[in-house]
């Protein structure tokens, strides 16, 4: 399995090292899409790449599904403690690689955020989403949109992080093409969210700080424009921060849709 250059387990360990069990929940961006799914305490879900665990908390509160997650990071024990802090004591958190672990069941919802774009060829990881879904189960994939303005800003101020992503996949048209090829029914595939910008660069030298200040000023201007009625809520490949897919694994012959 090919992974984009410089993305390694060590990278993720360093990335999550400052996370605290007591930190407030990170923002969740997809309620408006996922609230179309039925609420049920009898259904199950799994997040592929589940550190730090915040998505599972949000999904549990939104949908009620029994949460499970898998990640090859050493922070899986942290995820369990994080979920317990928010009252979830029965989550199944697995420390393993999704391609080598032998799963014993299928799920009503398979979720990932910020995972598939780290693969040069995303076919296998997309197929894993389909494989883990029950017939008729939902598949939700969120990919950051590092194209257009986001690409230019990161090329200027966050180039090392940009290299860790398959930006070719950050296109609704291209993602849709992959999804159709592997036989997932598309419910929605498109750009999502008002303008939102972030950087992962931690350099503090003068040139890096100048570059970051420059792009933050540009991002601040765009964010102000999005407060106006004619832009607010507009989903666009130029500024929206996410490309998202909500899909469904086909039912078996003779089964009825629920």
Domains, the chain, ranges and CATH? Answer: 9-16+29-146+160-196+236-248 (3.40.50.150)
Q: How confident is the model at residue 203, as a pLDDT?
A: 84
Asked if the model's pLDDT at residue 162 lies above 50, the reply is yes
pLDDT class for 5, splitting at 50, 70, 90?
Answer: very low
User: With 70 as the cut, is the pLDDT of residue 256 above it?
Assistant: no
Prediction pTM value: 0.90
Question: What is the C-alpha to C-alpha distance for residues 74 and 192, in angstroms, rounded to an integer?
Answer: 31
Segment 135-157, tens digit of pLDDT: 999 999 999 999 999 999 999 99
Spell 5-42 as b/e; 16+ CB within 10 A means b: eebeeeebeeebeebeeeeeeeeebbeebbeebeeeee
Q: Is the pLDDT of residue 4 over 80?
A: no
Q: Which of 72-76, 117-121, 177-181, 252-256 has the lowest mean pLDDT?
A: 252-256
Nearest alpha carbon to residue 67 among 43, 37, 45, 89: 45
Query: Is a pLDDT exceeding 50 seen at residue 200?
Result: yes
* From 21-25, 160-164, 199-203, 229-233, the region with the lowest mean pLDDT: 229-233
- Tens digit of pLDDT for each residue in 96-105? 999 999 999 9
* Dist CA 39 CA 211 (whole Å): 45
- 148 neighbors 139 (Cβ within 8 angstroms): no
Note whether 166 and 4 are within 8 A (CB).
yes
- What pLDDT, on a 0 to 100 scale, did the predictor assign at position 35? 94
Sign of the C-alpha dihedral computed for residues 177, 178, 180 and 186 taken in this order: negative
Cα–Cα distances (Å) from 38 to 41, 65, 162, in that order, read 10, 10, 36
């Amino acid at each position: 399995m090919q992974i984009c250059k410089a993305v390694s387990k060590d990278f993720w360990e360093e990335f999550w090292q400052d996370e605290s069990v007591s930190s407030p929940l990170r923002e969740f961006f997809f309620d408006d899409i996922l609230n179309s799914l039925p609420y049920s305490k009898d259904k199950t879900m799994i997040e592929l790449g589940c550190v730090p665990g915040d998505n599972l908390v949000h999904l549990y509160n939104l949908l009620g599904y029994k949460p499970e997650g898998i990640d090859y990071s050493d922070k899986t024990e942290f995820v369990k403690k994080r979920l317990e802090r928010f009252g979830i004591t029965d989550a199944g958190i697995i420390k393993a690689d999704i391609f080598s672990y032998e799963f014993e069941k299928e799920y009503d919802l398979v979720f990932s955020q910020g995972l598939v774009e780290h693969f040069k060829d995303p076919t296998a990881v997309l197929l894993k989403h389909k494989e883990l879904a029950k017939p008729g189960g939902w598949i939700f994939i969120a990919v950051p949109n590092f194209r257009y303005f986001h690409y230019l800003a990161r090329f200027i101020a966050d180039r090392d992080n940009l290299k860790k992503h398959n930006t070719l996949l950050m296109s609704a048209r291209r993602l849709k093409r992959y999804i159709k090829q592997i036989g997932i029914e598309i419910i929605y595939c498109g750009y999502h969210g008002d303008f939102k910008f972030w950087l992962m660069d931690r350099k503090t030298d003068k040139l890096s700080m100048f570059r970051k200040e420059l792009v933050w000023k540009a991002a601040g201007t765009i964010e102000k424009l999005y407060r106006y009625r004619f832009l607010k809520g507009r989903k666009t490949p130029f500024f929206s921060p996410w490309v998202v897919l909500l899909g469904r694994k086909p039912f078996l012959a003779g089964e009825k849709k629920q």
